[in-house]
Amino acid sequence: MYAFLFTAVILCLFSEICIAQTGTSSPYTIARSRVLFHDKIDAQQKRLFKMGARADTFRIAGDETVNLQLEYSLVKGVDELQKSIETDTTLADNEKVKYLRGLEYLISGFNDHYRKKDYPPTLAPALMEAYMEAMQLDRKKESIEPVIEKYSYGVGMILVECFKFPENKGVQPSRLLLVNKYLGLHPDQILPRLRTNPDLPMADSLLKVAAHRDPRTFYNYAAPNDRLGTRIRAHQDPFIATLAKMARSKSGMLYFPFIDMVLSNKISFEDIDKVKDDGLSYYRLMVKTRINYAGRLLARDTPLEMRALTAMMAKKAKDVFISQINGLHTATDAVRFKCLEPLTAQELYYLAVLGEDEIYTSSYTRGVFPRMYQKMAAPRTDSLLMSVNGDYFRKFIKMAAAYNTLDFVLKSMTQESSASLMKAFMIGLEKTTTEDNVEDAVDVADSYSSIFEKNKELAAFMLNEAVWNYERCEKMGDKNGKVIYQLERTLFESADTSRKTNLSAVLGIPPIYSVDYNTLKDDTGRVVQQLFFYGDDDKDGQNSFANFMAMFRGRAEWSIAENPDWVSIKSTKGKPVWIFANKPLLGDDDPDAAAQAKLAQYLESKGISPTIFIHRGHSYHVKYSLAQIQPTARIVILGSCGGYNNMNEVLTISPDAHIISSKQVGTKTVNEPILQAINNDLRNGKNIDWIPMWRELSKEFKGDSKELFDDYVPPYKNLG
């Protein structure tokens, strides 16, 4: 009896066993030599369930319908295919092993990749279909390449790994096919891939795709003397040949803005050579080209590398003209603005709109703006805007509002035309809300605070237009439009403090026009400020510190304590306001930096966290102050020349910070009245309301100091 049982066990081990599958399959007999391969498939199926929230449920995708499709394909469908392979009498043993191993690799490949971008879970049904199609071709000793070509990249990448034991003759050509599919999905990877393998069979066609997709990047790859650069320069495509020629030229970047015109034979390299070394002539050619491009955009024809043209125009505008007129701000107008005399109205227009971030108020209001209208035969805004094909018209209106010239801009044309212009200013913002092109919507938002201050009727018109456009987009089912106009409307309404618009509730952001006193206090109820001063050979920092201290010395409402490195100033009347400032020490080994470090260490040791940070010093010191500003910052004052250009760095540290900065000269004659106004409100426990504060401050300045104050940008004018 025992011998019989032993024999039965041995026979079972070395011949066949009966397996009941958990899917729809009925029990069937599996050769013992293939049990291991079936077990591996089952193990991969169990992995599918483990990836869900519960081990007994299939929850890979968020959509229940998708989960059912996946389960049907990768569990029930695989079970059926296992049975079909195992019971197929026309398949030899090694063929059954091959296809079972392929099934294991199929599910394993899905498990390993389904979270990746190119392998969505929904590819499972197609993956099973493709596997069965490829299996039929493989059984006939035919290439699986037609199947790889038929299906998506994700399906193909998993599938080729399933037919390597032994390898189907279509696997290697399919890998090249998959490279092409991958680069079709990720064209930004074409050039990096070709740099390592420039001899890919499809390289020439891929190069054409890469060149037209991103000429600037292609230009960079065309210059080196490596294998890819050589292949690019040998390419017969006219566009690629032009890029390659530019890349090998020392003046290549000066040609780049005109590449569309060169390719269409409207301009030659020789034409550019005639002007590229003369700032005025080169800028003039770019303006002419930009106006042409703007007209083509109206006809829905997008020129190549318009962005490169704009970037170069902005650079030349600043380098050749704006830096010069800004730098001569103390000279007479005749001397200061002489370089503007040759420019046409259109050239002055682009000087303004492209130089917005750097142009001084006086450079604009006394120089560029009046000359723009003087150069026109008929000084009308509508004629000017038509002459540039409406290019940057929102930027122009925003700047006119900011520099108090909007009234002149609108009155220089008929009432009907001005109404049409402001309506155009508000309409169509839903078309400019992509990640690369939000500038128009930002300009509209930024303009409102200036308009609200000076022209309540026009501000009301803009608000009504925002509401009307929201309703228009709602009727059209335009989600982007609804979002952008709701944002514009909410920001507009928040400018009117009588409305008491709660931006925190509506948009999830702090108020823009004011700073709540309670957000500036720490746990003990005090408002803490930290100032950064710097010792300078010209004594400017030391003089600035002396003037700063004069605001507090001998005043009953303030007490002062000091040591060799820093001072502390505390309010003695009203709410607690604590001010800490390092001394502007001059000498070897940066004593003012050491003083700042000692002050920071003291504040940290006492658990004191400033919410107001103030930079006092030259612009070349500002990076050291920025490095010390904390995320607790709610108000940041950059009292240095050109502090406006550091806004992004501040917002990176503290996204909610309200920033005061200057586009021109930072000066104690402006900084100190601002600080006094803020401190007065803080000692009285009042919110900081920027619009009325700025209005009152404006009354204090006359003459040159008024000009300097006008270049300070209050937080509410950073609305966009």
Determine the Cα–Cα distance for residues 155 and 161; give it in Å rounded to an integer: 11
Determine the Cα–Cα distance for residues 556 and 155; give it in Å rounded to an integer: 79
Q: How far is CA 354 from CA 245, 319, 348, 364, in A?
A: 29, 12, 10, 12
pLDDT in tens, 290-339: 999 999 988 888 888 888 899 999 999 999 999 999 889 889 999 999 99
55: confidence class by pLDDT, cuts 50, 70, 90 = very low
pLDDT of 19 above 60:
no
Alpha carbon of residue 517 to chain centroid = 32
pLDDT of 371 above 70:
yes
| Average pLDDT rounded to a whole number, residues 402-418 | 91
Domain ranges of the chain: 2-185, 249-391, 404-509, 515-718
Mean pLDDT of the chain: 86
470: confidence class by pLDDT, cuts 50, 70, 90 = very high
Of the candidates 184, 256, 178, the one whose C-alpha atom is nearest the C-alpha of residue 223 is 256
Residue-level pLDDT at 26: 67
Residue-level pLDDT at 514: 86
37: confidence class by pLDDT, cuts 50, 70, 90 = very high
pTM: 0.67
Say which range, 58-72, 208-222, 480-494, has the weakest mean pLDDT.
Answer: 58-72
**Collapsed DSSP state (helix, strand, coil) of residue 689:** strand
Share of the chain above pLDDT 90, in %: 52
Say which range, 38-47, 53-62, 508-517, has the weakest mean pLDDT.
Answer: 53-62
pLDDT in tens, 532-542: 998 877 677 78
pLDDT of 631 above 80:
yes
Share of the chain above pLDDT 70, in %: 90
pLDDT in tens, 176-196: 999 999 999 999 999 999 999
**From the candidate CATH numbers 3.40.1440.10, 3.40.50.880, 3.40.50.720, 3.40.50.20, the one assigned to the domain spanning 515-718:** 3.40.50.720
The answer to whether the CB of 170 falls within 8 A of the CB of 145 is: yes
pLDDT of 454 above 50:
yes
The answer to whether the CB of 459 falls within 8 A of the CB of 492 is: yes
Residue-level pLDDT at 648: 67
pLDDT in tens, 191-200: 999 999 998 8
471: confidence class by pLDDT, cuts 50, 70, 90 = very high
The answer to whether the CB of 346 falls within 8 A of the CB of 287 is: yes
Determine the Cα–Cα distance for residues 467 and 656; give it in Å rounded to an integer: 27
Residue-level pLDDT at 502: 66
Beta bridge partners of 659: 636
pLDDT in tens, 138-154: 999 999 999 999 999 99
